[in-house]
A and B are shown apart, each in its own frame.
Chain A
């Protein structure tokens, strides 16, 4: 059994030191990075069968936002959703099993990477359709408002989604109804394999949100502290009933669109330049320099995280496929295909 890292917030006592919070970010980002690297290895070894969309380089977005959410808050994610899921508190083992399509996966092997979800931690699903999660997240926030609870929704989507209709429809709806939702536009510069700047008119995602009267903040998404501080302020406002808020996070996708995409549409120089700004290295440097955390301590963290991910990988490799008859379950009650599928 893989040793699990603590869920976000669990290690964050109110009196925890600044260094403690940053160390937590470091571990969480490493956990995502290690998971993504294992997933890519799984694809190469033909254990992960379908497409995966790694979030390597974007870990600070998931971690910086989710660190400010409560366990019963809701997250909606994208096709590039491993990081959001882990940052919201999902465990490695059922997640890896789902990527491998195995028994005991979060979705019983029915969803895979693109439909990863862990409702027990409020992660209501990745989505294979760009932008489709925005209106679903809006509805989740609408239900929270109907119910009158203190929960909020954080909805992650990419820059590509801002050119889809549901982006306008969802943001407008959330603003009109003053819903408790934080929209997080994770701008990695690419809509699939095309630069989004070439395909997008106007002054960018934050300007589009502001045009609807939604307060928007724009941050460097490779600086986890900046994401954390901005998210903290916006989450507080959303939870206090201010209505929707918008966080535009500039980051960079260090891999291709999918793990199989060599990303030949950009230069190696560009990638190397961006690699120097990736969030984990930046935070590590900061911890060593400003907080005098020892290299040994950080390396020990990294080692134990990699061990936990490796254990989840080994577990998923050995786990059985779901029983074939399960294909007929979880479809519908009325007209249940176990009785009539034809």
Chain B
């Protein structure tokens, strides 16, 4: 075990996978200089400028070229800097990479990873702060991964690179300096599609992912002091998502709260709530609830930004409401 930051863990993952498999290469703007956050620092020295490829500010070409290169049998890791910028490459990701295998009747695969950091970070305002994971969960063909810890950022990035499907890999910018223990084992992969029990509890299930996991854990500690034991599930992967872990937990706690940084309306939380209702309707003690951003843009000023932020207080309030006794219980 070593203590690594979330950023360093991802760097280690890429280094190990590039050493293991010569078909893996990375492409994006400023990679030779270490990438916008330093995720690629030192890599060009070891792997050369061919495999740590600098690109012009041409998101459509970065994504499209990676798609073509993946169809030719290489395994590109695409860096989009910010998930907001990946929107410049929407056709290439959604119409091309996600569909090529199907449209061509299985004649090809597109084994690429597109890293698109998400989330609010340092007053970055409306075009550098979004969490758009739900968009990609909606697209057949794509895998969507949102790691919350250093250990998962290493193990999931390795799994994503080895995956034969296009993977939208969304790291949260706020988590880059987060430290945590990470196993040294090169072959320690975190499976895509398996949730992580972040905190066990018996009264309420709180499903979340990415940086909001840490907000949820703070809320759970506060609620525990008030005698409410919250089970926090870190979903880790949005597609495929770990329905069985969530359903098993809610079947026990009979209460569901979902929290995410993205806009609530048509967010992935809605999918989780709907699935729980479809499967456990009769046994729920309260209507499931969501805590997420209102459908407004992310403002620059802290007072504006605060309006979209999921805080421990908002989670505590929502959990407390969910724990109100029902008439059934009062009788």
Hey, which bits of chain A sit against chain B, CB under 8 A? 74, 76, 105-111, 115, 117-119, 124-125, 127-129, 132, 134-147, 165-166, 169-170, 172-173, 176, 329-335, 337, 340
Contact = CB atoms under 8 A, between A and B. Distances in A.
Given A135-B64, A146-B74, A335-B193, A107 B50 contact: no
B251 to A, nearest CB: 19
23 contacts: A106-B105, A106-B107, A109-B105, A111-B104, A117-B107, A135-B68, A136-B71, A138-B65, A138-B68, A140-B72, A143-B68, A143-B73, A145-B50, A146-B50, A147-B72, A166-B92, A172-B58, A173-B56, A330-B101, A330-B102, A332-B142, A334-B193, A335-B193
A144 B65 CA distance: 12
Contacts of B55: 173
B147 interface: no
Given A110-B104, A135-B92, A333-B163, 9 more contacts: A125-B103, A129-B91, A135-B63, A138-B64, A139-B66, A142-B53, A144-B72, A166-B60, A173-B58
Contact of A332 (B51, B58, B92, B165): B165
Q: Which of A76, A139, A140, A335 has the most CB of B within 10 A?
A: A139
B116 interface: no
B71 A333 contact: no
A326 B65 CA distance: 29
A119 B103 CA distance: 12
Given A125-B100, A132-B96, A332-B141, A139 B64 contact: yes
B46 interface: no
B6 interface: no
Contacts of A170: 61, 64-65
Nearest to A168: B58
Interface string B232-269: 00000001100100000000000000000000000000
Interface string B52-89: 01011010110111111111111010000000000000
Listed from nearest, the 5 A-B pairs whose CB atoms lie closest are A135-B64, A139-B68, A335-B240, A139-B65, A107-B105
Contacts of B105: 105-111, 117, 330
A138 B62 CA distance: 10
Contact of A137 (B51, B68, B101, B165): B68
B55 to A, nearest CB: 7
A337 B139 CA distance: 12
Contacts of B193: 334-335
Contact of A146 (B61, B69, B96, B240): B69
A119 B50 CA distance: 26
A139 B140 CA distance: 23
B133 to A, nearest CB: 14
B192 interface: yes
A173 B65 contact: yes
B67 A117 contact: no
B95 interface: yes
Contact of B71 (A124, A132, A173): A124
A204 to B, nearest CB: 22
Given A129-B91, A334-B143, A142 B65 contact: yes
Contacts of A110: 102-105
Contacts of B102: 110, 330-331
A188 to B, nearest CB: 23
B130 to A, nearest CB: 21
A53 to B, nearest CB: 16
Contacts of B72: 74, 139-140, 143-144, 147
B192 A107 contact: no
B106 interface: yes
B176 interface: no
B169 interface: no
Contact of A124 (B60, B68, B142): B68
B58 A169 contact: yes
Given A110-B102, A142-B65, A136 B96 contact: yes
A330 B67 CA distance: 17
Interface string B141-167: 111000000000000000000011100
B60 A135 contact: yes
Given A330-B101, A333-B165, A340 B240 contact: yes
Nearest to A120: B107
A337 B142 CA distance: 11
Nearest to B71: A124
Interface string B286-298: 0000000000000
Contact of B101 (A136, A138, A176, A331): A331
B74 A330 contact: no
B40 interface: no
Q: Which of B64, B101, B165 has the most CB of A within 10 A?
A: B64
B19 to A, nearest CB: 16
B104 A332 contact: no
A41 to B, nearest CB: 24
A182 B58 CA distance: 20
A29 B327 CA distance: 80
A23 to B, nearest CB: 32
B164 A333 contact: yes
B140 A332 contact: yes
B60 A115 contact: no
Nearest to B54: A176
B320 interface: no
A136 B65 contact: yes
A106 B107 CA distance: 8
B209 interface: no
Contacts of A107: 103-105, 107
Contacts of B63: 135
A166 B240 contact: no
A142 B95 CA distance: 21
B104 A166 contact: no
